[in-house]
Each structure stands twice: as C-alpha cells, then as structure tokens.
Amino acid sequence: MSEEELLNHFRPTFDDIIDRSTVVDSFIERDRYQLYIATLWANVVLDPVDVGLQEEDLETLHDVLNVEIAAVLGKAHSITECFRFVNSKNGERAMDAAKLTRNHKDLLLYFSSMILDPDGHKTWMDEVSSRSPHPSR
C-alpha cells in the first residue's frame, strides 16, 4: 500500500486515538496517546493481515505513523520515542493509571525491548529459549 492508502486506511483509528487521548477541548494527554500508538503498532506488527495489510506494508506504515506522531507530539517524537516512554518510569506510571492488564503491559514492554535494544532482546530470547525444555525428538 502507498502512504496515502495507509493514511486513509488508518484515519479512523488515528482519529479515535486522538479522541480517546483528548482530555479537555483540544488538549491531548500525551502519555495516553503514546500508549495507544504503541499498542496500535504492536498489534499491527503481530498480525498485519488481521488489519488488511501485508508484511511488506509495515515499513511504509511505520513512516506514516511517525508523521502522525510528529503532528501530535512534535517533530522529535516517533514510534521509537513512544516505546522509550513505555519503557520509562513515567510510562510505567501511565500504564498503571490506564489500568492496563498485565498481558497488555508485557506486550508493550516486549516490543520496547525489541525496538530499543534489538541485540539485547535477541540475546535475552536466546537465553530464554535455551532454558526452555525442548520436547524429545
């Protein structure tokens, strides 16, 4: 899909995220917005076909999301910055305030690990895999 097609495809979702993050008039609660965006990205990456995308659309969607995020939070913000927030003390407080379930928090933290420290994430996953009992063949 092109950037324009993705923008049109996700416009209702972007608008809904803005609506859910708006506290008073046009004041957007930044913490909530970042949690919604991180959740959107994690879910789309987990199953792009479920939202009508192909895996090859993810890179373009990443760019589209970064433009949307910058328009709301400022030029210095991106998907990566949203996950950096999730992985911070303030992000932890925001997840608690939003009453996210343990599984939802774990999903966001898992993606934070992949995005912020891909090498460390791979090492960690290799260690977890090596400790897991493997069925006999």
Domain count, the chain: 1
By residue range, what is the domain housing residue 80?
A: 3-131
> Does 22 map to a domain?
yes
pLDDT of residue 137: 43
The C-alpha atoms of residue 114 and residue 112 are separated, in whole angstroms, by: 5
> Does 120 map to a domain?
yes
pLDDT of residue 119: 66
- pLDDT-based confidence at 28, cuts 50/70/90? very high
- pLDDT-based confidence at 39, cuts 50/70/90? very high
> Does 137 map to a domain?
no
**Lowest pLDDT segment from 21-25, 108-112, 117-121:** 117-121
What is the DSSP code (8-state) at residue 101?
Answer: -
**Average model confidence (pLDDT) across the chain:** 88
37-69 core/surface letters (b: 16 or more CB in 10 A; e: else): bbbbbbebbeebeeeebeeebeebbbebbbebb
